[in-house]
Structure formats: C-alpha cells, structure tokens
Amino acid sequence: MNLNSFSGTPNIFGLDYLGFRNLRSVFWNLSAAELVEQIILRQEGKISRTGAIVVNTTPHTGRSPLDKYFVISPKTENSIDWGEINRGIESPQFERLLIKLQAYFQGRDVFLQDMCVGAHPETATSVRIITEKAWHSLVSQNLFLRLSGEELANFSPAFTVICAPGFQADPSNDGVNSSTFIVLDIEKRLVLIGGTAYAGEIKKSVFTYMNFILPQKGILPMHCAANVGNRGDSALYFGLSGTGKTTLSSDPERKLVGDDEHGWADHGIFNYEGGCYAKTIRLRKELEPVIWKAAHQFGSVLENVVMDPLSRTIDFDNTQITENTRAAYPIHFVDNYVINGCASHPRHIFFLSADAFGVLPPISKLNIHQAIYYFLSGYTAKIAGTETGLGKEPVATFSTCFAAPFLPLNPCVYADMLNNLLEKYQASVWLVNTGWSGGKYGYGTRIPLANTRAMIHAALKDELNDTPMRKDQWFNLFVPLRCSGVPADILNPELTWKDKKFFNATASHLITLFDLNFRKYYGSVSDEVYKAGPRISG
C-alpha cells in the first residue's frame, strides 16, 4: 500500500485490492470527534452553535441521475433493466476511470470507514467507504451500521465505494456524460464516484447494490421508512422526497426502525442502515421534534443548510443554496428507536403521495390489486422551488416502486415480491395524500401535518377498520367517512374546492397522467392490477 502514516483502527484487509499506492496518510475508522477535528482543520465545514457540522456541496446539491452507470458484464447484461435510468458503460471505460483515480489519490490523504449494511445477521453485508473528504467519512459513519472492534479487526469488504469529488472525468475520453460520474461494477463489487460532493450519492450507491443482490436471496428491498408500536406492530412508509416519509415515521409514540431503506424477508423487516438522512427545509421544532433534536447534536452533518456566520444559528427556512437541505445523523440520536434494527412483518403499509393537484383523498384503503398498481406507479407531484426549471403548475412524478433511480432490476420483479408478501402476511395498505386540499398548488393549502398524523394514527390503531367507507368516483378508492381529529370535509377533496368544474378538470387531468404512465406495464401485470387504477367515468 506504500503509505507514509495511518491513524485510527486499521484491519488486516488493506487497500492493495484497489491498486492504491503511495498514499500520504490513511485515516482508518476515525471516531466522530476525530473526524470533526479533521473537518475543521481542513476547512471542509463549520461548526454550528449546537455542535453540528455544516457543509456546502455546490454546485451539486442533489443526485446526478444522468451521470450514473452500470458496467456491462456477463452478470449484468441480461439482468439489469437497461434504459434511461440504468445506463450501461463498458468495462474498459470503468478500468480507465479506476486507473485515473489510483493516480489521483497518490500523495493524498484518504479517509476510510468499514461499515455494515443490513441489520439482520442473515443479511449483513460489509461495505468499505473510501473518501478524500473527512466529512464524507463522518456522514458514512452516521448513516451505515457500525462494527465492534473485533469485527473491524477481521473486516473483509463485500462492497466498496470510492468517493473523490475533487476528481473530474473527461467526457470526451472517459465515455461518460459529464465530468461527474457514479459508476457501479456489480462484478467487481465496486462503485466509483467523482465530480460531486453530494453525500446522497454514497448512500444511494449502496442502496442500489443491495437492490440488485437481495432479490436473489428472496428478500424484497424497499425505499421506505419503518417504525413499530408498543404492541410490536410494525408499519412501513413508502414515499418520494418531500412526501413526509421521514417526518411521519419519526413519531414520538412509536419506535423508529429506520427512515429510508429496509428489507422484507421471511423473518420480518430490517433496516439497511444505522442512521438517517432527513430533509430539513422548513424544519419546525414543534412539528418535527425528533428530527429537530437530532439535527442539532454534535456529530450530525447538515448538508447545504444555511447558517448565520456570526451567531452560528441554523436557518432551516433559507433556500439560498437549495430546497434539498439534509441532516445526516446516527439513529441513536433518536430517543425512541429499535436498537437491533429489526421488526415483525408489517401490519400496515402507507404509500405517501404529496398530490399538488389537490384531488387525491387524504387517506384511502387499497385492496391487493390497487396496492400493486399504486406501488408500480409511485406517484407524487413536484412544485415550483423544489427543482430548477419548474414553472408555476404542479408536475406529476411517477417513480416506480417509489424508487425508480435505484432499481437495477425490472420493476415487476419487486412488485411480484411485494404481491407475494402481501398475500402471505395480510398487511393493510393505505394511500395517503400529504399534499394539497381545497385546490391545487397555488390555490389550495397543504393538508395540515396534524391531520395527516391523526389519520395515520387512526389506521395504526385499527380505528378505521370499522369506519364506514365511501367509494371515490374518480380514483376508485375506498375512503373513510370520518376520522377522529380530522375535519369531515378534508376527507372528501371535492367538498373543499369552491370551483367544482375546476376540480373535475384537474382530477380528469391527473387520471389521464396515471393512465399514460401505467400503459408500459400492459402485458406485464395481471388484468386485475391493470384495471385497479383510476378511470375517467362516462
């Protein structure tokens, strides 16, 4: 390995397998306190008034989906669902990038974290995260599962991530789209990340790898949060960014299993991770006390959050850098969490959609065919301010399985697995609109978080099982007529709109978008699933 020095806790499995030579220093499995020291010494970030590290990743403040690739190999050629999301790259191009990274790291310091993914012993996968930035090492330590001293000493990585934001690819010679790249080689169990400092690329690269290997073991990988009640009743919360997945699962009345990535096996559900990567824009202490407290602790990393340079106070309302502000913290910063990261089979499953068109019912119960339809649809809506280039009108987003950018296999593989698990364990599935009521975005208002929590709590306590339901004429959904703590009119979106013709036109428009999106599954799903979606009557 030819390094001048090392610090931390090394193990017997070095870096020779990566071809790394002449490194200056390797900072091996440093503690949070040691990493904070390095971050400040290297001027990678600043410390807030409460001790959290604040970093800025501009120009990349989100993922770069057009710069993500899979290496084409005998193992992936016929298994990856190739297309616009899963782009292919040839092995020689990957090797060229790896050689350039080997050269780039010569004479530089390297930070290394040996971690684990998969809380259940039968699914535990060892992962090594190698970074040029100390703060990326701290984020990795916060997000993945930590190992004991003995486990570290005998560590052997099953998967490796190399992250070098300072290295820029040459698109004309390296066969990539831009100077940024995220390239995953399933055969070599190695991912290369360059040209971007956004920490979500590390997290989601590991998630993507798990989404490839777990189905082969009969385990459903899921982009969802999970928590568990005092009765041992677990619940899953699927949803895209901005739908409230982390917020609703971080419930003081229930123990948190995890906030983002889980597996469902014959023994129950389990967290992939050991931490949370919470969206923090417009975070409120009174509404989200669990996330607020964790985000302010020493060792947490606040990504692209604005801080007053004099008082060192955090301004979660400030969108100067991005709407996609994040807090990365270990799960033990949450007072009420499941220590072993595992729970029983889910009793309730919630599909969260922030419907900015304001026409979806706030909560409705799905049968198994509807569950698979809405799982494959993965619907939410984007609004102005959440992404560059968006206008004043809502934009429907369909991310299959609520995880399209991270699914290497055909979506129907995951849908079939969910169908089998629902049939076997009989979980109740609910579609929850955390978006708008009384009109679409710009006209109506966001459904109050307190109302959404009340509906979810009612479902979790089985209070809605005996509640009379009405069949929604637009979306073919069964909607409760009443719910404790929720005004009756909110339960029927049409009643909250002043302009009924505008409601009808908006609902018809969204239903058309659902239909257009789902046509790609014709012939791949059963007729019952295909017909389970909304239809324009008449």
- Please identify every residue annotated as catalytic: 63, 204, 223, 241, 245-246, 260, 326
Q: Which residues pair with 234 in a beta bridge?
A: 228, 346
**Backbone dihedral angles phi then psi of residue 155, each to the nearest 5 degrees:** -70, 140
Could you identify the residue written with the tokens 């005092």?
A: 230
Tokens at 444, concatenated: 């109506």
- Strand 190-194 relative to strand 159-164, pairing: parallel
Could you identify the residue written with the tokens 């993507």?
A: 208
Q: Which residues pair with 46 in a beta bridge?
A: 54
Q: Is the peptide bond before 289 cis (omega within 30 degrees of 0)?
A: no
Q: Which residues pair with 480 in a beta bridge?
A: 469
Q: Which residues pair with 194 in a beta bridge?
A: 164, 181
Q: Which residues pair with 366 in a beta bridge?
A: 429
What whole-number distance in Å separates Cα of residue 43 and Cα of residue 467? 58
What whole-number distance in Å separates Cα of residue 499 and Cα of residue 447? 18
What whole-number distance in Å separates Cα of residue 207 and Cα of residue 223? 9
Residues contacting 161, CB < 8 A, separation 6+: 127, 128, 129, 130, 190, 191, 193, 202, 205, 206
Could you identify the residue written with the tokens 């499941």?
A: 338
Nearest to 73 by CA among 86, 91, 87: 91
Q: What is the CB-side half-sphere exposure of residue 73 using CA atoms within 13 A?
A: 16
Residues contacting 293, CB < 8 A, separation 6+: 333, 335
Nearest to 163 by CA among 141, 135, 194: 194
